[in-house]
């Protein structure tokens, strides 16, 4: 039987984000870095909960919100 992974909405507060790229490294299926702004872009509306929470936990400035 397959495990069902809940989906969550993810957003990034660009004001407090320093553009370190940790989120894109931790969850490349959710985030990518915008080369112009040097800030992360969320790639999906509904993201796997486990990946979103992992990226949130490693964000050094608590810029990631998981709903």
pLDDT, tens digit, for every residue of 21-44?
Answer: 999 999 999 999 999 999 999 999
Q: Which DSSP category does 16 fall into?
A: T
3-state SS class at 60: coil
3-state SS class at 8: strand
Q: Of 57, 60, 5, nearest to 27 (Cα)? A: 57
pTM for this prediction: 0.86
Measured between alpha carbons, how far is residue 30 from residues 1, 12, 42, 52 in Å?
Answer: 25, 11, 6, 7
Domain boundaries along the sequence of the chain: 7-66
CATH class, 7-66 region: alpha beta
pLDDT, tens digit, for every residue of 38-63?
Answer: 999 999 989 999 999 999 999 999 99
What is the band of 5 on the pLDDT scale with cuts at 50, 70, 90?
confident
Q: Of 6, 10, 7, 5, nearest to 56 (Cα)? A: 10
């Amino acid at each position: 039987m397959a495990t069902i992974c809940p989906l969550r909405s993810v957003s990034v507060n660009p004001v407090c984000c320093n553009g370190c790229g940790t989120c894109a490294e931790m969850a490349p299926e959710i985030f990518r870095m915008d080369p112009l702004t040097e800030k992360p872009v969320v790639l999906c509306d509904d993201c796997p909960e486990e990946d979103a929470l992992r990226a949130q936990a490693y964000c050094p400035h608590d810029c990631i919100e998981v709903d």
